Amino acid sequence: MFQPVPANPSFPVLEREILAFWKDTDAFETLRRLRAGGPTWSFMDGPITANNPMGVHHAWGRTYKDLFQRFHAMRGFDLRWQNGFDCQGLWVEVNVEKDLGFKTKKDIEAYGLAPFVVLCKQRVLNFAAVQTEQSIRLGMWMDWNDPAVLRYLRDQLGQDPGATLTLHGPRGQVTGTVEQLVGQLGLPQLGGSYFTFSDKNNYDIWKFLKTCHEQGWVYKGTDVMPWCWRCGTGISQHEIVTEGYIDRADPGLTVRFPLLDRPGESLLVWTTTPWTLTSNVAAAVGPELTYVKVKQGDEVLYLSKGTLKMLRGQFEVLGELSGQALEGWRYAGPFDELPANQHAGGWSEPGLRRLFARIPESAVQAHRVVLWDAVGEAEGTGIVHIAPGCGAEDFQLHKQYDLPVVAPLDENGVYIEGFGWLTGQPVSEVTDRIVADLQAKGRFYRLEPYTHRYPQCWRCATPLVFRLVDEWYVGMDGLRKPLMRLTEQIRWIPEFGQDRELDWLRNMHDWMISKKRYWGLALPIWECAQCGHFDVLGSREELQARAVAGWDVFAGHTPHRPYIDAVKVRCSACGGTAERIKDVGNPWLDAGIVSFSTLRYGDEPDYWRKWFPADFITESFPGQFRNWFYSLLTMAAALEDQPAARTVLGFATLLAEDGRPMHKSWGNAIEFNEAADNIGADVMRWMYASQKYDADMLFGYHGADETRRRFLLPLWNVYSFFVTYARLDGWTPARSAAGRRTELDRWILARLEQLIAQVTAALNDYHVYKAAQPVEAFLDDLSNWYVRRSRRRFWKSEADADKQAAYATLYEVLVTLTKLLAPFVPFITEHLYQNLVRAVAPGAPVSVHHGEWPAVNADLVDEAVLADMDAARTVVTLGHAVRAAGNLKVRQPLGRVVVVAPPEKHARLTHHQALILDELNVKALEFAENEAELVTYKLMPDNRALGPRFGAQFPKVRAALAAADPAAAVAALRSSGKLALTVDGQSVEVAAGDVLITPQPKAGFAVRAEGEYVVALDTAVTPELRAEGLAREFVRRVQDLRKTAGFEISDRIVTHYVASEGLAEAVGAFAGYIRDETLTVDLRPGFLPAGAATAEDAFDGETLKLAIARAEAPAGPEPAAKRRTPAKKAIAQPGAKRQPTSKKPASKPASKRKAARQKAAPKKTAAQRQPASKKPVSKPAPKKAAKPKARPAARSRKTR
């Protein structure tokens, strides 16, 4: 027997129960066992950064991940189920620093690298635990670590990383220090999620880098890049674009560069970064620009013609010349007196100077005008000051013109030696003194604040400087072509993903893999201080073999700083001692290697071959083309020359409901836990599932509520309806005779087959929303048509074949739908499955997620059944429209509905005659005998058929058709199957199939048309029909009063009434019907007893006073067999009284609704009835029942 179903479930509460059920039954592990050995479907999880709680934007992608894993598991595939955590890099460091209140790198070094790295690991373990719990809450089935174990390791690591522990893994006990065990998380011996800080992950990157080095791709390069002097690190272009430009007022300083060969003449140069003037080497002009020679006072100045307006005061233009003409002019620099500017090759920190040693000139000697296409006139003077040590583009010009490089700043933004009075000064504090110095030297021209967008550090908001640094790179030219070839072998969804990736690959520069920080991959590069040669080591074993010192310090530790730094090796070139470079790795190395490291590459070749490449990966598009997708592809290309994945699904960005990014400070952010608690995981998952991939998603509570109301609630209502009546009838699938299926049954089953085919095809094609759309359409058909049209079949007393068929059909639909929806909404489907299947078939699989995907059999879709129902529904819709237009309420029965339809469609409708009559509340269905009375025809060509046939002549054919006499044309087409038209004086013939005949209703409000159908209602209300209508009105009011007075569904009542004449007659004539519908055992005219619930009303020119009271209760509960006699739908059974629905008294909302109706009533029916007045009164006032808190002001039911 099915368990009772609450009418108004809390989905979040239900989901927690299901989570407990899965845990208690070990449901996930059971699924793994069931599918072990099946064909493989390989999903590779893109690692989530374990640095903060996960957000609702993560839940989007994670829903896809879970959905496709569940779908494939149901289809019988064996899966790996491994989640991944991204663990290393600056993101984690930043948060640890924040926790500690650190400001700069010096704070970290003072604190100590070893404890700092421990804190980073602890943070990762902590948020891995948090994200694990959140993911479980979302319904993700993965091979999760126990969060408690992760927290235990976190705490043990903090106490003593060297303490020895034993954990139990899939292959038995694993013993080691805490640090060693943490380094083995996710590996086969410990299982669970992979962590990119694992030893295996790090050493596999070593192997990759060594492979690259063997190809000659690894090199040390020097560049000028954005730098935060507080953090002491370079900031990549990517980091800048995500967080950080601000509008900022900088000094706009204009200075003179006196020309050496033209006494009294100067270039005018403008800059917003005065500190870079100390390192000026050249001045750039645009070769295509026009420059002017200007006399102002005693001096002659040069600037571009387009920037003349920046001059103040009087001046005289002496002449014009092209930028080309200025090339090579030599000038005196602003700080030529500094030693740094007098050094051949330029000046920089000692370690970098050798790079420019081949350049013979000093900055002073090099000062000259160079040509540069990028010079513009939007700001400044059209003459750009070039300091190759202080700007990225300037540095490119150094390469182009072999200019010296003067790089003034150390990593903390302080002037290095060689800069005279500036040495030792922080860059942030020198502007005023530089300006003063230039004034003293006569170089100063003007200073005006200038507001512009300037990059800042995303972590500390310090304005960035540009600084010369050396970093390590992997040259990508050798991989560019192979990567593009492999990219084309991958299926990208949406398709434009491939173009994006190819575009990136065409444009990508060499991959900068180093970062001067502490927590991350220890780059396996050992550099010899003596000869500058470097080696890249490919494994821990190689390192041990080549170590000459420090191995004892490192042994037993994970390959992280600081311990790895202690190991020194023999230089393979000069035999000297090489040390590891101090840099850590780019975190995308960590994420890119996972299709090797997690698949036991090198350790278990068979396993790797079994699971590589991934069948499927999915991540949010923004960023991933040059991040994870890129690094994943690159690693696979370098190591195996294979694509790392067969299908890549990318999706857009999640925004708040207001269309803006979610921001805590804007108040539009929703945290995952909050969302899960408020709206539940299933609702969220369905929102994600319905979303198109390539459009940004607006996520918020309004959409969530709509999703709940549109999808989850109707699903629940159908289920609840089924269970309620199946319990009352004691129906179970085991006992079911097949019954005799009706047209309606066959229709919904045909729709179900259609749905299975659609959903299966869409998911096989990785198109989630194309699966979700037909599901919603089906649910609408099921809830608002099948169930609505079938209700009486479940209510009725007889347990006949028709009722059996109804139960069997609805049951089959519900169970199949449950399976189809299981990957989408795993919680509610599990609940449904437990009650619908397990409660009556204990031998069935324990979980819906252990079951098999419904078989696709598109052949079972019965097109005729579907078309019949379509026709019937069209007619019903039109009939409703006719009633609405004519203000003919459905409660008033009418004599007949008259339909105009093509003769061959008549059978479709007679098939569904009973349905149409009932739905429209009419007595007869007729087909128009003389259509011409009701309709005219509009003739339209079938464009697809006739367009190509007639080509340019087509418009004339169309016109001829429109001009033809419709009635005659239709007659001709119907009798002979063809029609002759005259076009351009020639006769052409069209066939019946080439012409679409659209009937058009003739004037008159009681007719509606759509497509091939026209529906008319006979609006004559005979006295008999009127009486029946009044009887229905009477019933309606009794039912209302029953609810208002708080009666149970099953209560028998005595009904007293006082009615005007017409109504009284109708009540008499339809007494039997009234008693049945209202469970009235005694229908008494006249006397209104005290103590009863009463109401009065006026309608249709009649008046009514009602009083009802409970009939004397029978001695005991009625036997089930007996309850059926009186009522069609209300059912007395002890169990029924415990249904929350039936227990509900006429509550506040009901009376509000009534108030709303009372208010509306006079408006709509003023012509027919007097203003309604009905006062629900509850005499015995059972419970808080009919406390008529009816607020007259209530405007509509929606106001609640």
DSSP state of 290: E
480 lies in the site for RNA, by CB under 7 A: no
| Nearer of residues 26 and 499 to RNA, judged by Cβ | 499
164 - beta bridge partners?
177
**Span of 19-27, 245-253, 254-262, 497-505 interacting with RNA by CB under 7 A:** 497-505
Tell me the angle at which helices 863-885 and 913-920 cross, rounded to the nearest 10 degrees. Answer: 20
Among 783, 797, 816, 1133, binds RNA (CB under 7 A): 783
Asked if 698 interacts with RNA (CB under 7 A), we say yes
Task: Note whether 1033 and 891 are within 8 A (CB).
Answer: yes
* From 16, 353, 610, 626, residue interacting with RNA (rule: CB under 7 A): 626
Tell whether residue 954 is a contact of RNA (CB under 7 A): yes
Identified binder of RNA from the candidate list 90, 267, 581, 697, rule CB under 7 A: 697
Closest contact distance (angstroms) between CB of 838 and RNA is: 24
Among 237, 324, 910, 1022, the residue binding RNA under the rule CB under 7 A is: 237
Least distance in angstroms from the C-beta of 664 to RNA: 18
Using CA atoms, how far apart are residues 312 and 320, in angstroms rounded to an integer? 19
From 226-234, 693-701, 800-808, 852-860, give the range in contact with RNA by CB under 7 A.
693-701
Token digits of residue 252:
């706009």
H or E segment to which residue 54 belongs = none
* Alpha carbons 592 and 632: distance in angstroms, whole number: 4
What is the nearest approach in angstroms of RNA to the Cβ of residue 1113? Answer: 16
504 sits near RNA (criterion: CB under 7 A) = yes
- Using the contact rule CB under 7 A, the part of the chain among 323-331, 704-712, 729-737, 1089-1097 near RNA is 704-712
Among 263, 667, 944, 1086, binds RNA (CB under 7 A): 944
Nearer to RNA, 640 or 694 (CB): 694
Q: What CA dihedral angle connects 138, 143, 145 and 146, to 10 degrees? A: 70
Backbone angles phi, psi at 124, to 5 degrees: -60, -45
Look up residue 562 and give its amino acid: P
CB 295 within 8 A of CB 315: yes
How far apart are alpha carbons 153 and 546 in whole angstroms?
Answer: 33
- Which of residues 453, 509, 735, 1175 is near RNA by CB under 7 A? 509
CA distance 1013 to 160: 82
Query: Do the Cβ atoms of 766 and 68 come closer than 8 Å?
Result: yes
**3-state SS, one letter per residue, for 841-871:** CCCCCCCHHHCCCCCCCHHHCCHHHHHHHHH
Pairing state between β 511-512 and 525-528? unpaired
> Which residue, 270 or 699, has its beta carbon nearer to RNA?
699
| 238 touches RNA by CB under 7 A | yes
* Among 877, 1019, 1060, 1170, contact with RNA (rule: CB under 7 A): 877
Yes or no: say if 124 and 50 are a contact pair by the CB < 8 Å rule: yes
For RNA, give the closer residue by CB, 222 or 572.
Answer: 222
Of positions 103, 485, 735, 1197, contacts RNA by CB under 7 A: 1197
| In contact, 138 and 129? CB cutoff 8 Å | no
What token pair was written down for 301?
């100045």
Told to check if 1200 binds RNA by CB under 7 A, we report: yes
Q: Is 453 in the site for RNA (CB under 7 A)?
A: no
Among 426, 556, 1135, 1149, binds RNA (CB under 7 A): 1149
DSSP category for residue 522: B
Instruction: Report d(CA 876, CA 872) in Å as an integer.
Output: 6
Measure the CA–CA gap between 759 and 561, rounded to whole angstroms: 51
Site size with RNA, rule: CB under 7 A: 92
Which of 458, 563, 628, 1047 contacts RNA by CB under 7 A? 1047
Stretch that binds RNA, among 377-385, 899-907, 1015-1023, 1161-1169 (CB under 7 A): 1161-1169
Write down the least CB distance from residue 270 to RNA, Å.
21
- Positive/negative CA dihedral, 181, 182, 183, 186: positive
Show contacts with RNA in window 881-940 (CB under 7 A): 881, 883-885, 887, 889-891, 938, 940
Phi-psi map region of 1082: left, alpha, beta (phi>0 left; psi -120 to 50 alpha):
beta
Using alpha carbons, list the distances in angstroms from residue 475 to 203, 638, 903: 21, 12, 76
Q: Does position 1039 bind RNA by CB under 7 A?
A: yes
Among residues 297, 948, 1086, 1116, which is the contact residue for RNA, using CB under 7 A? Answer: 948
Among 540, 646, 1153, 1179, binds RNA (CB under 7 A): 1153
CA distance 633 to 630: 5
* Residue 710 binds RNA (CB under 7 A): yes
CB of residue 1115 to RNA, shortest distance in Å? 22
Instruction: Return the sign of the alpha-carbon dihedral for residues 653, 658, 659, 662.
Output: negative
Residue 603 near RNA by CB under 7 A: no
Nearest alpha carbon to residue 708 among 676, 682, 741, 737: 682
Using CB under 7 A, which of the segments 340-348, 364-372, 431-439, 948-956 binds RNA?
948-956
Q: Let me know: does 231 contact 457? Beta carbons within 8 Å.
A: yes
The one-character DSSP state at 806 is H
Q: Which of residues 1126-1145 bind RNA (CB under 7 A)?
A: 1129-1130, 1141-1142, 1144
996 lines the binding site for RNA (CB under 7 A):
yes
The C-alpha atoms of residue 1042 and residue 1097 are separated, in whole angstroms, by 15
Question: Can residue 161 be called a binding residue for RNA (CB under 7 A)?
Answer: no
Strands 194-195 and 84-86 turn out to be parallel
Residue 942: how many other CB atoms lie within 10 Å:
13
**CB of 713 or CB of 840, closer to RNA:** 713
Integer Cα distance of 463 and 460 in angstroms: 9
Q: Which is nearer to RNA, 1042 or 1075 (CB)?
A: 1042
Which of residues 102 and 1099 has its CB atom nearest to RNA in the complex? Answer: 1099
Q: Which of 330, 978, 1157, 1183 binds RNA (CB under 7 A)?
A: 1157
The pattern of x and - marking residues 92 through 131 that bind RNA according to CB under 7 A reads ----------------------------------------
Closest approach of RNA to the CB of residue 598, in Å = 26
Contact between residue 62 and residue 172 where contact means Cβ atoms under 8 Å apart: no
1191 makes contact with RNA (CB under 7 A): no
Q: Which of residues 715-734 bind RNA (CB under 7 A)?
A: 717-718, 720-721
The correct pick among 354, 452, 663, 788 for binding RNA (CB under 7 A) is 788
For RNA, the binding residues in 247-306 under the rule CB under 7 A are none
1048 near RNA, judged by CB under 7 A: yes
259: which residues sit within 8 A by CB, 6+ positions away?
265, 266, 267, 302, 329, 330, 331
Instruction: Please report whether residue 1192 would count as binding RNA according to CB under 7 A.
Output: no
Distance CA 847, CA 139 (A): 14
Stretch 629-688 residues interacting with RNA (CB under 7 A): 653, 659
DSSP 21-40: HHHHHTHHHHHHHHHTTS-B
Nearer CB in complex with RNA: 88/707: 707
Tokens of 101: 């209140």
Backbone angles phi, psi at 573, to 5 degrees: -95, -50
Among 1, 20, 241, 545, binds RNA (CB under 7 A): 241
Stretch 811-850 residues interacting with RNA (CB under 7 A): none
**Which of these segments, 52-60, 353-361, 439-447, 623-631, binds RNA (CB under 7 A)?**
623-631
Residues forming a β-bridge with 234: 227
CB of 730 to RNA, least distance (A): 19
1163 lines the binding site for RNA (CB under 7 A): yes
Q: Does 23 bind RNA (CB under 7 A)?
A: no
Residue 1165 binds RNA, judged by CB under 7 A: yes
